[in-house]
Amino acid sequence: MPTGDYKILPSILSADHGQFVQEAAAVDIPEVDYLHLDVMDGHFVPNITFGPQVAASLKKHTRFRLDVHLMIEDVDFYIPRFAAAGADMITIHQEAAAHLQRSISLIRESGAKAGVALNPATSLETLRWVLGEVDLVLVMSVNPGFGGQKFIEASVEKIRVLREIKERGKYRFTIEVDGGIDARTAPLVYQAGASYLVAGNAIFGAENRPEAIRKMIRAIEEDQQRRRSIQV
Ligand code: DX5
Ligand code: ZN
């Protein structure tokens, strides 16, 4: 079982888009609290997914909290709409928000938790003046747009540096990582400081989804045990 200080968040981007509710039911195990919803507009990223209506249906037909990852340009228009659809957490991209601080406030006013995401090439420094106002920082470990891409190894160091910034500044935000997370990379990003681990292909590309989730949890636990036994 997980130690409780991290979560695996299934991303339904890699699920069958004609059967979201059934696909969500397939990951309905006690270890899962959140579903990760990838919203794409065909402008910020070269792919299109779904809007607030799908989020509202998942809210209605499942017990999950919803982690909505907006890979879209017009964030201020859509934030209240996703909040009304039942999003518990709304994450916007630093690269997409012209007035980031204002958009973060808009999310908080809507009642959802506020997250900011960074593309792999975007510096942590760009968030310096908003870190005290966010509930979550999402480190993208692939370039956003598609599931099943190769994990960018430099993300591990980026997460480590972000954790140092968090500890030094006594910030409260959660560190999330998204892209290429599987049983190999999950222990690396957890050890570096990420506690919300999003996984799409590793879960929905597997025949047995609960087993795929538990495989990542086991990989993290075994890695932690190994590290503890080396230290003793
Ligand atoms: C990528 C999305 C991810 C995606 C991750 O643009 O933000 O959430 O679903 O998929 P995997 O785990 O397959 O890399
Ligand atoms: Zn995502």
- Closest ligand 1 atom, residue 47 Cα: 6
Q: Any alpha helices (H) in the chain, and if so which ranges?
A: 20-25, 52-61, 75-84, 100-109, 154-169, 185-192, 201-204, 209-231
CA 12/CA 37 separation, integer angstroms: 6
Q: Which residues of the chain have pLDDT under 50?
A: 1
Paired strand residues for 196 = 7, 176
Nearest Cα to Cα of residue 13 among 72, 68, 85: 68
The Å distance, Cα 16 to ligand 2 centre, comes to 16
Residues whose CB falls within 8 Å of the CB of residue 207, separated by 6 or more in sequence, listed in order: none
**What is the CB-side half-sphere exposure of residue 121 using CA atoms within 13 A?**
3
For this structure, is 178 an active site residue?
yes
pLDDT score, position 231 = 80
CATH number, domain with residue 212: 3.20.20.70
Residue 203 lies in a domain: yes
- Closest ligand 1 atom, residue 201 Cα: 13
The ligand 1 site (C-beta within 6 Å) comprises 11, 13-14, 36, 38, 69, 142, 144-145, 147-149, 178-181, 198-202
201 three-state secondary structure:
helix
Residue 164 lies in a domain: yes
- Closest ligand 1 atom, residue 14 Cα: 9
pLDDT score, position 1 = 44
Ligand nearest the Cα atom of residue 47:
1
168 is in which domain, residue-wise?
7-231
Residue 2 lies in a domain: no
Contact 77, 54 (CB under 8 A): no
Residue 1 lies in a domain: no
Contact 165, 179 (CB under 8 A): no
How many Cβ atoms are within 10 Å of 136's Cβ, its own excluded? 20
Of the residues 40, 146, 176, which should be mutated to test ligand 1's pocket, given the most ligand atoms within 8 Å of the CB? 146
Residue 127 lies in a domain: yes
Residue nearest to atom 2 of ligand 1 (CA): 144
CA 78/CA 39 separation, integer angstroms: 10
Q: Which two tokens stand for residue 216?
A: 């990542």
Active-site choice (67, 135, 178, 182): 178
pLDDT score, position 3 = 61
The Å distance, Cα 191 to ligand 1 centre, comes to 20
For this structure, is 5 an active site residue?
no
pLDDT score, position 4 = 73
Nearest Cα to Cα of residue 183 among 217, 141, 152: 217
- The CA distances from residue 127 to 33, 46, 230, in Å, are 27, 25, 36
- Closest ligand 1 atom, residue 40 Cα: 6
Residue 144 lies in a domain: yes
Residues whose CB falls within 8 Å of the CB of residue 84, separated by 6 or more in sequence, listed in order: 52, 110
**Furthest CA-CA distance within the chain:** 54
Total domains in the fold of the chain: 1
